[in-house]
Amino acid sequence: MNCLRACLSAALVVVSAIAATTSANARPPASSRTDRSETDPEHARLVAMCGTWDVEMTFWFQPGRAGLTTRGTSTIRPLFDGLFVEEKIEGLLNGAPFTTLAWTGFNTVTHRYEATRIASTNTIRIAETGGYDETTRQFELEADYPLAGETWHQRTVIQPVSADAMMATSYLSFGKVPEWKAVEIKYTRAAK
């Protein structure tokens, strides 16, 4: 039962996996762009994902088990002239409301994207780091954190689909349990 609780907690934390889009058409209107995003492609990728999104989230709480799908809303906004973005996801899971928050930025010293994620469902803070691959046009962030007496590994892949769609998929592993897809979030830009 502890493993099931740990899997549930981990899956709910990773739901805050931040998504990005890199297509030139994904840029927000000129009135909402910042000076930073105009001069720096790493931060422009972050600002390009700002807006309100309808999300469909599927959770796999254990490897090989059926997934549970729910819907919610993601709001992504720039902070400090686009140095960071903040994402807030709100939804219901089994009738109970949950919220996740994530802050993501690009560290110009390490040349890595860094994200911090928290959720209303547990006390875990996840700090992910990673990069953007120009060839595959996707982000990949990773983290290791303690949970239920084990060290968990999380790998989040963020793929742009179009200017109005993106996908974030988080994979988990711990101990001798091999990596499995734990969360998939499909983003569709909300109608104005």
Q: 38 versus 179: which is more confidently predicted?
A: 179
pLDDT interval class at 38 (50, 70, 90): low
131: which DSSP letter?
E
As a whole-number percent, the residues of the chain with pLDDT over 70 amount to: 80
Which residues, including other chains, have CB under 8 Å from residue 80's CB and lie 6 or more apart?
none
pLDDT interval class at 156 (50, 70, 90): very high
Other Cβ atoms within 10 Å of 178 Cβ, number: 10
Query: pLDDT, tens digit, for every residue of 53-78?
Result: 999 999 999 999 999 999 999 999 99
Query: pLDDT, tens digit, for every residue of 90-100?
Result: 999 888 999 99
Provide the CATH topology of domain 2-189.
Lipocalin (2.40.128)
Domain boundaries, the chain: 2-189
Is the pLDDT at 26 greater than 60, yes or no?
Answer: no
- Mean pLDDT, to the nearest integer, of 160-179? 93
What pLDDT does 94 receive? 86
pLDDT interval class at 32 (50, 70, 90): very low
Greatest C-alpha distance within the chain: 51
